[in-house]
Structure 1
Amino acid sequence: MEGNLKKGLFFGSLVGLAWGLDTVLMGLVGNNTILKTAASSTLVSAFLHDGFCFFWLLIVALFRKELLGVFKLLKTKKGKVTCLAALVGAPIGMSGYVMGIKYAAPAYASSLSVIYPGIGAILSYFILKEKLSKRAIIGIIISLLGSAALGYSKVDLNMYPEFYKGMAFTLLAVLGWASEGVIIGYAMKKIKDEEHIKASPQQFLTIRYLTSFATYALIIMPLVGGYDTVVKLTTNKEILFFPGIAILGAITYLSWYKAVDYVGASMGTALNSTAAFWAIIFSSLILGTEITPYLAICGLVIILGVFIFAVDFKEFFGKNKKVNNKVIEEV
């Protein structure tokens, strides 16, 4: 158990670091001349990010000989519901997040975005009738208060003239990701497993990004004239940044599944929230964003709230101790 805990904490920490860096690099790429002058820049960025994420996951599926299983999963009820969840969480969530990064800066967008597990829990309470413990309610309230305080930050509006617009788009992303979790929760609880299909988390994730990529490629890009911008990026080699950034996106989700496997969904979700911390650090190092005491405090309050909401430390470490004692007795 101790080994699993260490592995879980490692992969969980990797999730936060990778997503925090992904966020900042997306903000950096969004400032290049072509994307800065294109009306559809944020949607193009989201399309390329999720498109290359799908590409890397496809490579992983081929390497692990799971690609056939992905197509089999698509035919099942759970696979179809995963597609529905992806429509909410990927195009809506990712597009809103990229717009949040553009208008409100990576550090602020990332700090606000990590409240999505709490919003998801609230939606689950009303839609799936799931109960909320007092600890969870306290954690959600703390994270929401931190988010509200962040929204009232005294930022330099000369530097970020559309800051509040960016925060609004980030809230849209939060709602999209939270709704995605509720739909997946419904699928897992209400839809029975089909015995002839044994799907891995990576296969579900591949379907998620396939759905996102197809939606952007077939619907969103033609509607906004995004392919013209993609062609310009290709001719200027700016597009080469996106495959590298997408590797971070793929690592984020694959590590998250690993963390959940080793230490459970609650701790895995809580560690995911550390992306806000890393986004603030990388924003300072790469973009030169000023880390004001107010920003740092708000970010820490939000992360603290997510941890309180997601993790019952007495239960978590209590189970760890019991398992270790049992192993010692058996030896």
Structure 2
Amino acid sequence: MAILGSFIAMGFIGGAFAAVAALLYPVVGSVLAYYWYGEKISKRAALGIGIIILGGITIFGGGLLTELSSGNVQWIGYLGGLMAAAGWGIEGAIAGKGLDISEPDVGLTLRFLGENIIWWIIVVPVLALLGYPMYSFALQAFEPLTMLVLIFAGITFGFCYVCWYKSFPLIGVGRGQGIGNLYGLFAIIFIFLFFGDVPQWSIIVGGALCVIGSFAMITEDTSALETLRGE
């Protein structure tokens, strides 16, 4: 859900939107972890969640208002952004529960094996049967430059996930995802540096609010919580 939604958002609206729209995922992860297995949400964490929600409203609302005035709304792109936020939030909550009884490297291996099964055994064959040239697309990945980019993407993505999964048992899903939320800031910077794209004001303001909300969550004094979970 998350990866597919992110690619949909990239294709229909743009990379900056796709990166920033998913910043709502700590809200989904924190709320699910709270209701599912009682992970605590302190007042400061609730404040951070509220600020992130305001950021999400700015990100989606600003773009929608602009497109409504022009009469050309890319609804599927905004749906992709919501899929990304919901997917990564749900994954964090599931991982937080699963890591009670397993190690991060085990969770990471299962996560990527599951993703390979979904794409190579289900999605790609089904789309190929529907007439899309999926296998010729896949073979393009073996071009040297494309392969180099994918290798670097895999290294950074894998390192990110090891650290992300390791954080959940130590500081909780809400804080772990809140810190991870800072990737949106770096994404906007690197998209500007590498592609020269200046994001819309709504993406910059909304992303800034999401980052502020994340800081509110992660700068909380750990002594305020004796345990991560309630009774």
Is the structural similarity TM-score above 0.5? yes
Q: Distance in 1 between matches of 2:212 and 2:89?
A: 19
2:171 corresponds to which residue? Answer: 264
1:277 corresponds to which residue? Answer: 185
Q: Distance in 1 between matches of 2:93 and 2:179?
A: 20
Q: What is the aligned-residue identity percentage?
A: 24
Paired residue type of 1:250: G
- Give the 3 Å change call, closer, same or farther, for CA 152–214 of structure 1 in structure 2: same
* 1:75-86 correspondence to structure 2 within 5 Å: none
* 2:149 counterpart of 1:244: no
- Give the 3 Å change call, closer, same or farther, for CA 146–238 of structure 1 in structure 2: same
> Is the 2:26–2:181 Cα contact (8 Å) retained in structure 1?
no
Picking from 290, 306, 317, the partner of 2:214 is 306
- Give the 3 Å change call, closer, same or farther, for CA 227–239 of structure 1 in structure 2: farther
> Is the 2:8–2:77 Cα contact (8 Å) retained in structure 1?
yes
TM-score by length of 2: 0.77
Report how far residue 151 of structure 1 moved: 0.6
* 1:163-182 correspondence to structure 2 within 5 Å: 163-182=74-93
Q: Distance in 2 between matches of 1:223 and 1:317?
A: 51
> Is the 2:11–2:77 Cα contact (8 Å) retained in structure 1?
yes
- Give the 3 Å change call, closer, same or farther, for CA 254–162 of structure 1 in structure 2: farther
Report how far residue 222 of structure 1 moved: 0.4
Q: Distance in 2 between matches of 1:128 and 1:203?
A: 21
Picking from 202, 206, 209, the partner of 2:109 is 206
* 1:132-211 correspondence to structure 2 within 5 Å: 132-154=41-63, 163-188=74-99, 193=101, 200-211=103-114
Query: How many pairs were matched up?
Result: 215
2:120 corresponds to which residue? Answer: 217
2:229 corresponds to which residue? Answer: none
- Give the 3 Å change call, closer, same or farther, for CA 291–232 of structure 1 in structure 2: closer
Aligned to 1:153, the other structure's residue is in SS state helix
Q: Deviations over 1:138-175 (max 9, x none)?
A: 22121111111111224876xxx664422211211221
Paired residue type of 2:178: A
Segments of 5+ residues of structure 2 without an aligned counterpart are 129-133, 227-231
Report how far residue 281 of structure 1 moved: 0.7
* 1:281-292 correspondence to structure 2 within 5 Å: 281-292=189-200
Paired residue type of 2:105: Q
Report how far residue 272 of structure 1 moved: 1.2
Segments of 5+ residues of structure 1 without an aligned counterpart are 1-91, 194-198, 320-331
